[in-house]
């Protein structure tokens, strides 16, 4: 009795104290005035010294965006966003781009250190087997502060840099591919992103190259009232392979902050991209005050034959998540995968899922989604599997499981299936289960604490998806899931 009462009290008091990344870094920032006009777009483009075509592209997006309205179909609720009350660019004050880490503000390096992201190559090299090395692009508010192992990767012909640098060094590549997967007009937030994107990563893997190390980008929102509009573009040429991971955190603040990213992936014949996300933006407090609005468009285009794109996501943060990493299975025999763990607690709202668009023959896709809802949160899986007339023998397998912890949360599954060919085989399985008081009591009678019992059941629930993450991140993700659910038992 007392212990369970105690955990119930913990749920009532559930607080952001569990969020371990809520600190604020004090650095001198350069920001234009709040608000969004053509001048803002021009400012960002000029600040990045972009080619003229890029500015035109942005302005075109901006003009379209002004004619659009925010989508309202997702199962999420929030007060109207005042787009004029946001800073669209915030960069640490520096004299030009840092040429080495010594030119980066030590406070920023310190911030990444606190987050457990080593940026000094020497530190990473010490004690790490070469095959376990991870190259990092560190994006702090609107700019990439450093990208590690660039030189080493270049030896293999791999380009890994910030998208701003790519626009300087490889403008032809960016121009060829940007907006070809997520068109400028795609949706409200993608169009907004196209107008004002600030930084993100660019990856190019040449033909036949297996990227020699794991690539990752670490996004940090630090500045108050600032939106982060990241843009990532990954191109895997014929027969190449890359595994890429992104991580995200933000300080604990009372105001909501907007993160509207666009990620585009392109695989040519026989190429493979494995894209993993561990999203841990600040989720807001117990009453839903503060937290990140994570409105993200992620899409991969399996452009070549027998190519493969797999999305793995562990979503534990954000006040609101609106995100559907998708695959366009254009090349014959291509394959799309989506593995997701979405955890919601407190007042968090998650509306996430995927789209598998089968266009080519013999294309296959697999969707494994595990939603865990606790506290007073709402967790929706929304998915679309479609087969085009020409997508003969398309196959999909979908498995959507929801786990509820407590009585005040909600889990919803909204699967859409469209098939224009009679040869497609789509399978769908869905379950909803609940960790009940009785199960917890049973486990506790055997000696487990309520928290350990919950963690045990949750781990059992998510293990199929955790296995998809690169080893070194799986452990991290598992910890993160238990931290996110701390105090959720009752």
Partner 1 sequence: MLEIRNLHVKIADEDKVILNGLNLKVAKGEVAAIMGPNGSGKSTLSYVIAGKPDYEVTDGEVLLDGVNILEMAPDERAAAGLFLAFQYPMEIPGVATMTFLKAAMNAQRKQRGEAELTTPDFIKRVNKAADLLGIPKDMLRRPLNVGFSGGEKKRMEILQMTLLEPKMSIMDETDSGLDIDALKIVAEGVNARRDPEHAFLVITHYQRLLDYIKPDTVHVMSRGQIVKTGGAELALELEANGYRDYQSAA
What residues line the site for partner 1 (CB under 8 A)? 1-5, 433, 436-439, 441-450, 452, 456-457, 459-461, 463
H or E element in which residue 123 lies? helix 121-125
Minimal distance in Å, beta carbon 400 to partner 1? Answer: 15
Spatial contact of 417 and 428, defined as CB atoms under 8 Å apart: yes
- Token pair recorded at residue 80: 């109207």
Considering the complex, state which of residue 82 and residue 438 has its C-beta at the smaller distance from partner 1: 438
Closest CA to 220 of 82, 313, 119, 343: 119
- Residue 19 in 3-state DSSP? coil
Show the 3-state SS of 199-232: ECEEEEECCCCECCCEEEEEEECCCCCECECEEE
Minimal distance in Å, beta carbon 453 to partner 1? Answer: 8
Considering the complex, state which of residue 3 and residue 24 has its C-beta at the smaller distance from partner 1: 3
Planar angle of CA 455, 460, 462, nearest 5 degrees: 95
Minimal distance in Å, beta carbon 448 to partner 1? Answer: 5
Number of Cβ within a 10 Å radius of residue 366? 17
H or E element in which residue 147 lies? strand 143-147
Taking every pair of C-alpha atoms in the chain, what is the biggest distance, in angstroms? 69
Considering the complex, state which of residue 389 and residue 446 has its C-beta at the smaller distance from partner 1: 446
Considering the complex, state which of residue 416 and residue 442 has its C-beta at the smaller distance from partner 1: 442
Spatial contact of 390 and 331, defined as CB atoms under 8 Å apart: no
Considering the complex, state which of residue 286 and residue 457 has its C-beta at the smaller distance from partner 1: 457
Minimal distance in Å, beta carbon 339 to partner 1? Answer: 16
Considering the complex, state which of residue 4 and residue 81 has its C-beta at the smaller distance from partner 1: 4
Minimal distance in Å, beta carbon 212 to partner 1? Answer: 35
The residue to which tokens 């607690």 are assigned: 345
The residue to which tokens 């350990």 are assigned: 452
- Residue 121 in 3-state DSSP? helix
Spatial contact of 195 and 62, defined as CB atoms under 8 Å apart: yes
Considering the complex, state which of residue 119 and residue 458 has its C-beta at the smaller distance from partner 1: 458
The residue to which tokens 């980008």 are assigned: 217
Minimal distance in Å, beta carbon 349 to partner 1? Answer: 25
Minimal distance in Å, beta carbon 407 to partner 1? Answer: 14
- How far apart, in whole angstroms, are the C-alpha atoms of residue 347 and residue 339? 24
Considering the complex, state which of residue 173 and residue 444 has its C-beta at the smaller distance from partner 1: 444
Which distant-in-sequence residues (6+ apart) come within 8 Å of 8 by Cβ? 490
Minimal distance in Å, beta carbon 456 to partner 1? Answer: 6
Spatial contact of 474 and 465, defined as CB atoms under 8 Å apart: no
């Amino acid at each position: 009795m007392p212990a369970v009462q105690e955990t119930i009290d913990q749920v009532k008091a559930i607080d952001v104290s569990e969020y371990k990344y809520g600190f604020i870094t004090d650095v001198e920032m350069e920001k234009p005035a709040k608000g969004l006009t053509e001048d803002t777009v021009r400012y960002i483009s000029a600040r990045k010294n972009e080619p003229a075509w890029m500015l035109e592209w942005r302005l075109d997006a901006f003009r379209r965006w002004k004619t659009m309205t925010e989508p309202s179909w997702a199962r999420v609720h929030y007060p109207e966003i005042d787009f004029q009350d946001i800073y669209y660019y915030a960069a640490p004050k520096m004299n030009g781009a840092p040429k080495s880490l010594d030119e980066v503000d030590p406070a920023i390096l310190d911030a990444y250190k606190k987050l457990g992201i080593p940026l000094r190559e020497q530190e990473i090299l010490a004690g790490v087997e070469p095959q376990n090395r991870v190259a990092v692009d560190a994006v702090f508010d609107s700019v990439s502060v450093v990208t590690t192992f660039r030189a080493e990767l270049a030896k293999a012909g791999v380009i890994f840099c910030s998208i701003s640098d790519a626009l300087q060094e490889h403008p032809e590549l960016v121009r060829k591919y940007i907006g070809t997967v997520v068109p400028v007009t795609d949706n409200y937030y993608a169009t907004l992103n196209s107008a004002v994107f600030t930084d993100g990563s660019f990856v190019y893997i040449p033909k036949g190259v297996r990227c020699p190390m794991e690539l990752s980008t670490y996004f940090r929102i630090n500045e108050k009232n600032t939106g982060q509009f990241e843009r990532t573009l990954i191109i895997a040429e014929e027969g190449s392979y890359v595994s890429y991971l992104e991580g995200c955190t933000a300080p604990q603040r009372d105001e909501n902050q907007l993160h509207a990213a666009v990620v585009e992936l392109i695989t040519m014949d026989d190429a493979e991209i494995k894209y993993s996300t561990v999203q841990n933006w600040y989720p807001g407090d117990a009453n839903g005050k503060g937290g990140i609005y994570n409105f993200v468009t992620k899409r991969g285009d399996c452009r070549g034959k027998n190519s493969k794109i797999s999305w793995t996501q562990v979503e534990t943060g954000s006040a609101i998540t609106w995100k559907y990493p998708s695959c366009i299975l254009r090349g014959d025999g291509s394959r799309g995968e989506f593995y997701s763990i979405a955890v919601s607690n407190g007042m968090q709202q998650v509306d996430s899922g995927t789209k598998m668009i089968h266009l080519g023959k013999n294309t296959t896709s697999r969707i494994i989604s595990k939603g865990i809802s606790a506290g007073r949160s709402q967790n929706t899986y929304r998915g679309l599997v479609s087969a085009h007339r020409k997508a003969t023998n398309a196959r999909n397998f979908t498995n959507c499981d929801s786990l509820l912890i407590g009585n005040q949360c909600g889990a919803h599954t909204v699967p859409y299936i469209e098939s224009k060919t009679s040869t497609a085989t789509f399978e769908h399985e869905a379950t909803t289960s609940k960790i009940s008081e009785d199960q917890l009591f049973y486990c506790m009678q055997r000696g487990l604490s309520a928290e350990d019992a919950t963690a045990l059941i949750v781990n059992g629930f998510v293990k199929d998806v955790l296995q998809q993450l690169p080893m070194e991140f799986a452990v991290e993700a598992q910890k993160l899931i238990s931290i996110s659910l701390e105090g959720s038992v009752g």
